[in-house]
A and B are shown apart, each in its own frame.
Chain A
Amino acid sequence: MTMMTLQDDLTTAAAKGNTADVESLLRRGAAVNGVNRFGRTAVQVMMMGSWPVAQALLQHGADPNVADRSTRTTPLHDAARTGFVDMVRLLVAAQADPQARDNQSRLPVDLARENGHAEVVAFLETLK
């Protein structure tokens, strides 16, 4: 069994959308931009439908522009592809870059459009 670090616990809590655990782990000293044993930060793996988790992480200084080391996908790409408009707005308000491109040269708005998320497309287009 692999040892779980605070960082692993933080990313797990974020991925499960568990806001109370995220907040308590941050209070106990988990580094908000620290990576887990898969080399990912909490904001990269958080449950996209959970803006309360995103808000807790961002308020603690989470970097919203960290890209996946394999695919260059950013959290804004993931939020746009899955269509969670509240998350898209929150990330943009925290300075997530709407012009970030993944390894297939796609912008977040491209992924929103591909997946039929009209509200997200409309919002991202106002940023141009």
Chain B
Amino acid sequence: MAHCTSFPYEPVAEIGGGAYGTVYKARDTESGKFVALKNVRVQTDQNGLPVSTVREVALLKRLEQFDHPNVVRLMDVCATPRSDQETKVTLVFEHVDQDLKTYLEKAPAPGLSSDRIKDLMRQLLCGLAFLHSNQVMHRDLKPENILVTSQGQVKLADFGLAKIYSCHMALTPVVVTLWYRPPEVLLQSTYATPVDIWSTGCIFAEMFRRKPLFCGESEMDQLGKIFEVIGLPQEEEWPTGVTVSRKNFPAVKARPITDFVPEINEQGAKLLMQMLTFDPLKRISALNALEHLYFQDEETSNQDETL
């Protein structure tokens, strides 16, 4: 990993912080453009940076070669030794000056058109399918890290950092939102790429509702809110070896998703339910979601493009 020698980036504001390090909005003084600087503090030993960090950074750099339109560019990575025990790793990402949260808040009533939602969802799933096909999971997908350019292009940010951060995350409790978190993570069971599909389902619903679908205040409350919609899963679906018992929750039945997302069309509702499936192994994948009938039936969506 290169040392931070010529470093033309000047921080202008702090935009994120936590146990793992700090995120800054910064300006590239050569091009004048904004970038996002992510500093991660990493423990080092006599062999230098841990193998896991070097591997994750190498993976992010490899992804960069594909130049995927729906993920942010990684422009630079460098390391600054702070002491014998600690090195600061700085990742320089493209900065997009709008996130999905702002985009949804700005949309005048009655909200985004169904075609606009379909387009956003297609791009979001393309970005995810790309990450997942490279064995990268996002793990913390939410409207704040789904970026939307002024031209309506979706770009995922903050992916692939989970593993770089994780050793520090365990040390300090960080306040992170529970609202997009899937049941297997809330239950502290094993998890993999389906976590991102759950989050995508929550965000899909939010695009119609313009407010989050499940706003839990604790892990248990979050699970309760999820079951009020999808119903309490069957005993045999409950993961084994988790401390939280199914008996803690009332035996509620699934309610029609259209009670919560009334504006969604029939195929959209079907896709949403395949994303909000309790069992991660039965949950739809990003690639299969892109093949879903929801994206095939074009309704009126081609009309705008031919104008």
Partner-B contacts on A (CB < 8 A):
4, 8, 11-12, 14-17, 19, 36, 38, 40, 44-45, 47-52, 68, 70-71, 73, 77-78, 81-85, 102, 104, 106, 111, 117
Given contacts A68-B27, A82-B149, A84-B97, 6 further A-B contacts (CB under 8 A): A11-B12, A45-B12, A49-B148, A52-B105, A81-B32, A104-B32
Chain A residues with Cβ under 8 A from B27's Cβ?
68, 70-71, 73
Instruction: Report the separation of the CA atoms of residues A106 and B15 in the bound assembly, to the nearest whole angstrom.
Output: 28
Contact B29 A12, beta carbon cutoff 8 Å: no
Partner-A contacts on B (CB < 8 A):
10-15, 25, 27, 29, 32-34, 97-99, 101-103, 105-106, 144, 148-151
* A11 nearest CB neighbor, chain B only: B13
Dominant secondary structure of chain A at its interface with chain B: loop
Out of A4, A17, A85, name the residue touching B99 (CB < 8 Å): A17
Could you show 5 A-B contacts with beta carbons less than 8 Å apart? A15-B14, A38-B12, A40-B12, A51-B106, A81-B33
Known: A15-B25, A52-B105, A82-B97. A44 touches B32 (CB 8 A): no
Chain A residues with Cβ under 8 A from B150's Cβ?
48-49, 82-85, 117
* A48 nearest CB neighbor, chain B only: B97
Contact B10 A38, beta carbon cutoff 8 Å: yes
Chain A residues with Cβ under 8 A from B106's Cβ?
49-52
Chain B residues with Cβ under 8 A from A102's Cβ?
32
* B102 nearest CB neighbor, chain A only: A17
* A72 nearest CB neighbor, chain B only: B32
Contact A49 B98, beta carbon cutoff 8 Å: yes
Contact B32 A47, beta carbon cutoff 8 Å: no
Chain B residues with Cβ under 8 A from A50's Cβ?
98, 102, 106
